[in-house]
Chain A
Amino acid sequence: MDLLAVAAWFAVAIVVMVVAFLAVATYNDVVALGQRVDKAWGNIDVALKQRHDQLPALVDAVRGVLAFERNTLTEVTRLRAAYSPTDPIADQAATSEATTAAVKSLLAVVEAYPQIQSSANVLDLQDEIERLENVIADRRELYNDQVYRYNTTIAQVPAIVLAKLLGWKEREFFLAQPVERRPPEARLETS
């Protein structure tokens, strides 16, 4: 066999190997990115669930003293009940942001009552809720960053070719709709 032909076949094999590697690697990368988006969402969901479980305890602990702060307590309770892990992501983001705002209002009101502040139970609950709010904020940021990486990758060459072939769609950011991003109303009614 002609040695030059062997060299030519070798060159073709190298090029095919590199192209095949890039195709397989790109497919695997996008699949891994998708898995990371799902995992990041799962981590938000865990934190939202934990907050959902903790809120009744806080509301119960302060209900007696804050009986006349009915609006604040009602708002927290209403938004807690609105939590639904099966809702679309945008709806969950809106509910989560509104709940965060309501919880901040409640904590601001609690600050104004030294008799509540002195209760170790309330302080513990307050710390735990504040910790969960931080966790939710950080994980939302992480999720959005991961979604950004996924969406950018499938919109770029070479993944865009595979995206068209395999029907990969952009993922949704965890963001509330602009209309629902009003600043929270703090109802600081005092006696």
Chain B
Amino acid sequence: MPSPADLLPFAAAGLVAGLALLWRGLAGHRTAARIGGTATSRIATLAAGEVRISGTIEPAEVTLVSALQSTPAVYYRSRVSGRLGGDADELLDEERAVGFVVTDGSGSIRVFPRGATFDVPWRYAEHDDWAGSTPPGLSPRTGPGYAAARPDRDAQVAALLTVRERGDADDLAALLGGDAFGTGRLGGWGGLTLDGESGGRNRRRRYEEARLEPGDTVTILGRAVPFGTLDDPAHADLAEMTHLGAHVEADIAADIAEARAAGLLAPDAETAWGNAAIPGFGIGRPVSEPDLDPRAGVLPLATEDEAAAAERTFSIPPEALVLVASSEVPLLVAAGVPGTATERQQSRFHLGLLGAALAIGSAVVLALGLGATLG
């Protein structure tokens, strides 16, 4: 039978884990109260201010391509962790979101995900087998991280016929494995290099991915504001959890304000972005003639119907309400109907109470162990 002194490391770990579970559980309790305490508004008759809506996700202009399963999504979090001996390493932790639309049968509303908190359970969680083979279902992204929400047939054919070299800078498959095992480089947040020693086949990896895809049901709590009041819609439309830090964000905002005051910023989107300001350019058929290098291939223009659809997609009336994060009302995007989202958070709270019990038990064992060790 182990002596109390032998249990010291386990008791210390139990204490830390219990307190962490308790902390997470208390946060879950707050979130559950927030979701459960707000009635669901119908989108068609939404009033400005804090609201809760629930509906189905529809893509806006573009979707993301998830990192591990190459699935079109409006949000994903992909994580790859490896274990060599007793040490666990996080090899990839990428979390991205792009603006999307939610419809509830009465109407639809655009969601700008910048600053949002996502509560989305893992949809894919697998690990390498003992022989080091990758698990079924793993299909790392090969190509751009963005795709047109309504893909153009010709563009899809062209993409299918494009031969990509393994090891392209944005080729996640090459970065994660295959021939590049041991020499590949993981870009993104960590910028980690898998050297031959630590990244070889003897490392057993765990792959996890949470996603929100078009067609999924989602519950959102946030602030409804007129689109015209957004300072920088393009900035609000993307969420990449890069953790730049408040001082960096403040510096950027100050630089923009200074440039604006000095008249250095372009007066309109066309002047600033050129062809990129043309709806449909780059991700479908442009609605007007772009200014191209004479040597470039001529792009087919959108038909009248396609142009009208593209204009509708790209223009949001200034008075239309959109959902955003604000300092007073954080934006919460949770997978599932409100009941499911609340239950998930309440489970966290119950787990947190068990964590409190674990912490107390561990503290008693720690005291006994320390008492025995110190005599």
B143 interfacial contact with A, CB 8 Å = no
Q: How far is the CB of A59 from chain B (nearest CB, A)?
A: 24
Give the residue of A21, A29, A43, A134 whose beta carbon is less than 8 angstroms from that of B47.
Answer: A43
Question: Which A residues lie within 8 Å of B360 (CB)?
Answer: 7, 10-11, 14
Q: Give Cα distance in the complex from A174 to B40, angstroms.
A: 17
List residues 86-107 of chain A with CB under 8 A from any CB of chain B.
none
Q: Give Cα distance in the complex from A18 to B44, angstroms.
A: 41
A122 interfacial contact with B, CB 8 Å = no
Q: Give Cα distance in the complex from A44 to B92, angstroms.
A: 49
B356 interfacial contact with A, CB 8 Å = yes
The interface bits of chain B over 17-59 (1 if a CB of A lies within 8 angstroms of the residue's CB, else 0) are 0000010001001100110111111101101011000000000
A149 interfacial contact with B, CB 8 Å = yes
Give the residue of A18, A36, A39, A135 whose beta carbon is less than 8 angstroms from that of B356.
Answer: A18
Asked if residues B368 and A134 are in contact (CB atoms below 8 Å), the reply is: no
Asked if residues B30 and A25 are in contact (CB atoms below 8 Å), the reply is: yes
Give the residue of B33, B50, B359, B366 whose beta carbon is less than 8 angstroms from that of A25.
Answer: B33
Q: How far is the CB of B18 from chain A (nearest CB, A)?
A: 9
The interface bits of chain A over 1-28 (1 if a CB of B lies within 8 angstroms of the residue's CB, else 0) are 0011011001100110010011001000
Give the residue of B37, B41, B368 whose beta carbon is less than 8 angstroms from that of A32.
Answer: B37
Q: How many A-B residue pairs have CB under 8 A?
A: 70
**Which residue of A is nearest B39, CB measured?**
A145
Query: Could you list 5 examples of A-B contacts with CB < 8 Å?
Result: A15-B356, A32-B34, A138-B45, A145-B39, A145-B40
B371 interfacial contact with A, CB 8 Å = yes
Question: Which A residues lie within 8 Å of B12 (CB)?
Answer: none
Q: How far is the CB of A1 from chain B (nearest CB, A)?
A: 11
Question: Which B residues lie within 8 Å of A39 (CB)?
Answer: 49-50
Give the residue of B38, B47, B367 whose beta carbon is less than 8 angstroms from that of A7.
Answer: B367
Asked if residues A146 and B39 are in contact (CB atoms below 8 Å), the reply is: yes
Asked if residues B44 and A138 are in contact (CB atoms below 8 Å), the reply is: yes
Question: Which B residues lie within 8 Å of A110 (CB)?
Answer: none
Beyond the given A7-B366, A14-B360, could you list 4 further A-B residue pairs with CB under 8 A, ordered by the A residue number? A3-B371, A6-B367, A7-B363, A134-B45
Q: How far is the CB of B226 from chain A (nearest CB, A)?
A: 15
**Main SS of the interface on chain A?**
helix
Interface size for chain B: under 10, 10 to 19, 20 to 34, or 35 or more residues? 20 to 34
Q: How far is the CB of B124 from chain A (nearest CB, A)?
A: 34
Asked if residues A135 and B363 are in contact (CB atoms below 8 Å), the reply is: no
B159 interfacial contact with A, CB 8 Å = no
Asked if residues B33 and A149 are in contact (CB atoms below 8 Å), the reply is: no
Q: Give Cα distance in the complex from A84 to B47, angstroms.
A: 22
Are A149 and B368 CB-contacts (below 8 A) given A14-B360, A134-B45, A138-B44?
no
Question: Which A residues lie within 8 Å of B356 (CB)?
Answer: 14-15, 18
A40 interfacial contact with B, CB 8 Å = yes
Q: Give Cα distance in the complex from A29 to B29, angstroms.
A: 11
Q: How far is the CB of A93 from chain B (nearest CB, A)?
A: 17
Asked if residues A29 and B45 are in contact (CB atoms below 8 Å), the reply is: no
Q: Give Cα distance in the complex from A146 to B356, angstroms.
A: 33
Q: Give Cα distance in the complex from A167 to B26, angstroms.
A: 27
A142 interfacial contact with B, CB 8 Å = yes
Asked if residues B364 and A4 are in contact (CB atoms below 8 Å), the reply is: yes
Q: Give Cα distance in the complex from A33 to B30, angstroms.
A: 13
Asked if residues A138 and B366 are in contact (CB atoms below 8 Å), the reply is: no
Question: Which A residues lie within 8 Å of B34 (CB)?
Answer: 32
Asked if residues A29 and B37 are in contact (CB atoms below 8 Å), the reply is: yes
Q: Give Cα distance in the complex from A146 to B41, angstroms.
A: 10
**Which residue of A is nearest B355, CB measured?**
A14
**Which residue of A is nearest B370, CB measured?**
A3
